[in-house]
Amino acid sequence: MKLSTRSRYGTRLMLDMAQHYMKGPIQLGTIAKRQNIPVKYLEQIIIPLKKAQYVKSVRGNKGGHYLARPPEEITVGEIVAILEGGLRLTKCTDEPDACKRHEDCLTRAVWKQATDAMHEKLNSITLSDLLKTGDPCEYEMDTEDNPT
Amino acid sequence: MKLSTRSRYGTRLMLDMAQHYMKGPIQLGTIAKRQNIPVKYLEQIIIPLKKAQYVKSVRGNKGGHYLARPPEEITVGEIVAILEGGLRLTKCTDEPDACKRHEDCLTRAVWKQATDAMHEKLNSITLSDLLKTGDPCEYEMDTEDNPT
DNA sequence: AAAATAATATACTAAAATACTATAGATTCA
DNA sequence: TGAATCTATAGTATTTTAGTATATTATTTT
């Protein structure tokens, strides 16, 4: 029932890019240092986010990644859903027929309701909301490795 | 982010006992057949539930297990928390200090809120609530293996 | 043109968690 | 006594998680 590092790192990755939205591409190496996450792992994590069109990239020297949409239009729920392969506590939440007991299963309704509650909360929070809760300057200053 | 079979089987185990509350001990073998869960696995799962005083048992021939409290006083959230080792999406939800980034972590608040939403929903549903949603007779009749 | 930088692609691996299974022993009832 | 049932402890196969490693492609700077 725990979130994987994929979702958590991925959310921080997206949040980092949100903090530098519209300032040109950022290198994964920079984010990796800033967030203390292995670069090679970030490279894996960003793939599905690119496929889902939440992130775009520029190759080559001075290249990098950037958000394809404004932070106000990206929810944490969307990020987690992409990286976790769905936002649900059980498989049967989405696909009742996946379980042969689905006809007289009394518990499925509970998992569905708990999933919905979590779902609703996560989808109500955007990257932009998160930025407002903290002090962005704290992050802007942390640029000794950033050759802007 | 998925529930383990431990929580799901465990909930069905508790629900099965709830359906036979106050009718004497039920053998795990009977529940295993009824719920189509390996007996040996149920034996593992029931241990923490006994330790947490939600279940009591009678040893020996004609022995079995039974709920230590009425179904109205047992929530699904309690069962899941016992079997999943807590009801939270991240470790930092409970123990902020567990993470060294906790001071300037913008994401922790989200995991906390989503956890709370799930928590609240699961703790609002009792075994008794679940029994009302289905047809108990359906289960009473399924007793060809039950030597009552 | 060459060198440096950064993304992309693919494959590999160690460790942990999950989902059981096996064996032996203790307890109770008939 | 013997069958049934819970209890305790250990073992194991599979899957998932959390990364690493290597090589390639694309772009910019020198």
Each residue's pLDDT tens digit, B99-132? 888 888 999 999 999 999 999 999 999 999 999 9
- Nearest-by-Cβ selection for A114 from B4, B101, B122: B122
Asked if pLDDT for residue A138 goes beyond 50, the answer is no
Asked if pLDDT for residue A144 goes beyond 60, the answer is no
pLDDT of residue A134: 67
Local confidence band at A100 (pLDDT 50, 70, 90 cut-offs): confident
- Which residues neighbour A69 within 8 Å (Cβ) at sequence distance 6 or greater? A54
A5-86+127-134 to CATH, choices 3.90.1150.10, 1.10.10.10, 3.40.640.10, 3.60.21.10: 1.10.10.10
Q: Which residues of B touch A111 (CB under 8 A)?
A: 3, 8
Q: At A120, list the tokens.
A: 């609703």
Local confidence band at A68 (pLDDT 50, 70, 90 cut-offs): very high
B1/A84 touch (CB, cutoff 8 Å), yes or no? yes
pLDDT of residue B101: 86
pLDDT of residue B134: 66
**Long-range CB pairs of A78-82, under 8 A, 24+ apart, other chains included:** A78/A54, A78/A123, A79/A7, A79/A10, A79/A11, A79/A14, A79/A49, A79/A54, A80/A3, A80/A7, A80/A10, A80/A11, A80/A122, A80/B1, A82/A10, A82/A48, A82/A49, A82/A52, A82/A54
Asked whether residue A70's C-beta has any atom of DNA/RNA strand D within 7 A, the reply is no
Distance A37 CA to C3 C1' (A): 28
Neighbour tally for B94: CB within 10 Å: 12
Q: What is the pLDDT of residues A34-63, one digit of tens each?
A: 999 999 999 999 999 999 999 999 999 999
Chain C positions with any atom < 7 A from a protein CB: 3-11, 18-23, 26-30
Residue nearest to nucleotide C22 (CA to C1'): B40
Asked whether residue B20's C-beta has any atom of DNA/RNA strand D within 7 A, the reply is no
Asked if pLDDT for residue B140 goes beyond 60, the answer is no
Q: Which of A76-80, A138-142, B1-5 has the lowest mean pLDDT?
A: A138-142
Residues B76, A114, A16, A45, CA torsion sign: positive
Asked whether residue B24's C-beta has any atom of DNA/RNA strand D within 7 A, the reply is no
Name the burial class of residue B21, with classes exposed (0-12), middle (13-18) and buried (19+) by CB atoms within 10 angstroms of its CB: middle
